[in-house]
């Protein structure tokens, strides 16, 4: 693995609509606000953030593969792909870079189909339900795991 101090923060489908999509569930902060939150937190801890969002499953898979040689960890909000994507599960499992699954909402208190994460068994842990603070909690968990 590269001697990087970079943490990859991946965001899946519809997260580009944060701030306008279901603010009662996801809050009023935008994805740009989340990026700044992550960047500030990581910087204070001595790390850099590579922050990305895609609505494309294949692009997320490619970015996970790239993490193997360019990141010390991945904080991953896969959105709805969490519950449907065997490809993302397999991509996480294929890399040695630690991945923390995260969600803004408490997926276990929502619709039944959101209760099952296909990716969870491939990740080192899961954080959900703390709003956008789930991102900094995921970073904290990754940094603790890395050290």
The catalytic residue positions are 26, 103
CA distance 53 to 59: 9
Going 38 to 41 to 43 to 47, the CA torsion angle's sign is: negative
Burial class of 125 by CB neighbour count within 10 A (0 to 12, 13 to 18, 19+)? middle
DSSP state, 97? S
CA distance 40 to 74: 16
CA distance 95 to 25: 32
């Amino acid at each position: 693995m590269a001697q990087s101090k970079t943490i990859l923060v991946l965001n899946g489908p519809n997260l580009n609509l944060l701030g306008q999509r279901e603010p009662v569930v996801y809050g009023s902060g935008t994805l740009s606000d989340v990026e700044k939150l992550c960047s500030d937190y990581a910087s204070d801890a001595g790390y850099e953030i590579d922050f990305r969002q895609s609505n494309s499953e294949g692009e997320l898979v490619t970015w996970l593969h790239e993490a193997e040689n360019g990141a010390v960890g991945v904080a991953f909000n896969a959105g709805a792909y969490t519950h449907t994507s065997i490809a993302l599960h397999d991509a996480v499992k294929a890399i040695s870079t630690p991945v923390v699954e995260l969600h803004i909402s408490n997926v276990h208190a929502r619709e039944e189909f959101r209760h099952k994460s296909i990716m969870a068994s491939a990740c080192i842990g899961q954080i959900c339900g703390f709003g956008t603070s789930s991102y900094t909690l995921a970073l904290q968990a990754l940094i603790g795991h890395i050290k």
